[in-house]
Chain A
């Protein structure tokens, strides 16, 4: 359904995308997981036709975005990361305007807006100006606008950013129901749990590159059955190397070492070597195989907001 090939995009000196490619199948929910600045929004902007890539190609439903942009945009629903609404208008007026641009009118437009408003539970506030809404309510209307024309393909850019748990549950529920109706979805997030719970396949993106891609199972395979252990302390990498014989080292630098171990006894043996050598150890963290440990292995850092 969506085929992205080697797209690159730079803003001046910043290489936001260093050549990414992936394929999203029809009816699939595809996750884009990455920290802030990874390039998620840039990728979504290119797929939605807002930005042109410096190179590479995007094909949606067999159509090239450069050639048949208008046709593609008609079947695309885009929910931008930044809330983009007309604050002085009511929710319903916003929906009527955006729905109108997608070719809806009259009864059809009215029914469609009523339906999406019910979906997000804001029917009763529909005729209040958006400026009087809370952040979570605005997020929900922001979502409604991308869905009003019942698009076949939905692109969501961090739709749950900074909202209360209840609104988040509401939004995630709506996305699940869209997928169950056969819609194709790209979902970007920097929340591990969302990617884990929602997405069929996940691309881990960092620094403008896709570091790994696959189902949750496939991704956790990357760390195998092993725990990911990170030891912080005061030592040089040469010092530490002495203690690491026979251990699968994932990453080593001064004052920090990350290793993969399959049993907990191995951890205590390793730490003992540090202690007997009189090296001070600060923090030790152990991650069981999970998307989080995969993420840390791939990007060298934890994912926090």
Chain B
């Protein structure tokens, strides 16, 4: 134990003295996160699959149409696929998780609005998805705000509109022109239309578990886990490579002239890989928290997920080093292995966007389980129960690969196996 601690603290001290390689590897996820974040805006929208939103229009009036057509314009149309449904069908689809959200326009919505009565929009969200429903909600809220503001501005011409609508014909250009003229004058007078909103809306999640969702969606939280995994795997790799480096520089041979045994050396190297990777991941998450404003979720799931991820990184790398005999071989093999694992695990392109086949393949990459768990915690604020599969995969894979790697390494790192510095 004493030997292991001495070896471990020596490894960590040396890494602190020459931290450049690790720092560079930590910059990769930070830079990726920053760039993607800046491109899409802080709480903006990432390029996502089209969000399927069901529209249950019980009103069948003008404002329902307005809301619907508003959502199908320009950029919004690229994001949102609006599907008009009947109530029964809509509810069933939501229950089966076939859509991200359902917007319900209540009966009499148009008339009530025209009468300046309080109206309510209902948004039902799919609980198994995190940000897609959030975007749908954002959009509806914006549309409602426009509608609401419009009602204030058009307060004068409302009578006109009503008569037009009740005539059963759509407003013509002339009608609108007249209304707008009147509205312009009023606009100058009405500046308080934001307050005391006429349209309120209620958000529901399909499941019983009602919880208040944070309205803001942090795009960094969505990007950081994937890019962080690339960095962490490379950092584990750098830490474990030190073993081969010690073999080359002669310190490993020298260790064998002391009372230390091979198993001390291997154990300490695995531990130092774990510690260095852990330190880097904590720093990355803290930068995520305070630099990018990512909410870190609840402590228990976060810590368990973090430890599992570090175990997995340490294990996968240790396992490969069980076979790699030179730093050159490590260079050639490991960067490819890491990149492939990350690619299929969804580090570069979010796995949700890669289609069903890729999604299935991705499950074979341990990186998928790490990223997925972090997203559940950071983006969706999920609890322990929801990340159990992730934890099982990460811990069992981590422990198995660490043990296998340790056995493979111990066979090579032993007295008599190293031919000195010749």
Please give the residue numbers on chain A whose beta carbons come within 8 Å of chain B beta carbons, in ascending order: 11, 41-42, 45, 48-52, 69-70, 73-74, 76, 78, 80-89, 93, 97-98, 100-103, 129, 145
Q: From known contacts A49-B415, A50-B420, A81-B421, infer whether A76 and B17 are also in contact, taking CB-CB under 8 Å.
A: no
* Distance between Cα atoms of A145 and B419 in the complex (Å): 20
Of the candidates B253, B418, B420, B422, the one having the most CB atoms from chain A within 10 angstroms of its own CB is B420
- Are B257 and A49 in contact (CB-based, < 8 A)? yes
- 13 A-B pairs besides A50-B253, A76-B257 with CB distance below 8 A are A11-B419, A42-B420, A48-B257, A51-B416, A82-B421, A85-B251, A86-B10, A88-B17, A88-B18, A89-B10, A89-B17, A101-B258, A102-B259
Q: Choose from A51, A87, A101, A129 the contact partner of B260 (Cβ within 8 Å).
A: A101
B257 to A, closest residue via Cβ: A78
Known contacts: A73-B257, A101-B3. The answer to whether A86 contacts B419 by CB under 8 A is: no
- CB A52 to nearest CB in B, in angstroms, measures 4
- Tell me, yes or no, whether B358 is within 8 Å of chain A by CB: no
Given the interface contacts A48-B257, A52-B416, does A100 sit within 8 Å of B6 by beta carbon?
yes
Q: Which residues of A contact B251 (CB under 8 A)?
A: 84-86
Smallest CB separation, B258 vs chain A (Å): 4
CB of B249 closer than 8 Å to a CB of A: yes
Q: A70 to chain B: which residues have CB within 8 Å?
A: 259, 261
B14 partner, pick from A42, A74, A86, beta carbons under 8 A:
A86
- In the bound assembly, the distance between CA atoms of A89 and B260 in angstroms comes to 20
Report if B193 contacts A (CB, 8 A). no
The tally of CB-CB contacts under 8 A between chains A and B is 81
Interface flags, B1-28, vs A, CB<8A=1, else 0: 0010010001001100110000000000
Provide the bound-state CA to CA distance between A70 and B418, in Å: 17
Interface size counted on chain B using CB atoms at 8 A: 26
Which residues of A lie under 8 Å from residue B17 when comparing CB positions? Answer: 88-89, 129
* Dominant SS among interface residues on chain B: loop
CB-defined contacts of A129 to chain B, threshold 8 Å: 17
A98 and B250 in contact, given A45-B420, A69-B415 (Cβ under 8 angstroms): no
- B14 partner residues in chain A, CB cutoff 8 A: 86, 88-89
Contacts of B416 in A (CB 8 A): 50-52
A48 to B10, CA, bound (A): 23
Q: Which of B397-422 contact A (CB under 8 A)?
A: 415-416, 418-422
**A-B residue pairs in contact (CB < 8 Å), sample of 26:** A41-B421, A42-B420, A48-B257, A49-B256, A49-B415, A50-B415, A51-B418, A52-B416, A76-B257, A78-B254, A80-B253, A80-B257, A83-B250, A84-B249, A84-B253, A86-B10, A86-B14, A88-B18, A89-B10, A89-B14, A93-B13, A101-B3, A101-B258, A101-B259, A103-B259, A145-B254
**Min CB–CB distance B98 → chain A (angstroms):** 58
| Complex interface: chain A residues within 8 A of B10 (CB) | 86, 89, 97
Contacts of A86 in B (CB 8 A): 10, 14, 251
Contacts of A76 in B (CB 8 A): 257
Q: Is the beta-carbon distance between A84 and B259 smaller than 8 angstroms?
A: no
- Establish whether residues A89 and B259, one from each chain, have CB atoms under 8 Å apart when the complex forms: no
CB of B422, distance to nearest CB on chain A (Å): 6
Interface string of B103-120 (1 = CB under 8 A from A): 000000000000000000
Contact of B418 with A41 in the complex, beta carbons under 8 Å: no
Q: Return the CB mask of B276-300 against A: 1 if under 8 Å, else 0.
A: 0000000000000000000000000
Q: Give the chain A neighbours of B259 by CB distance below 8 A.
A: 70, 73-74, 101-103
Give chain B nearest CB distance to A242 CB in angstroms.
47
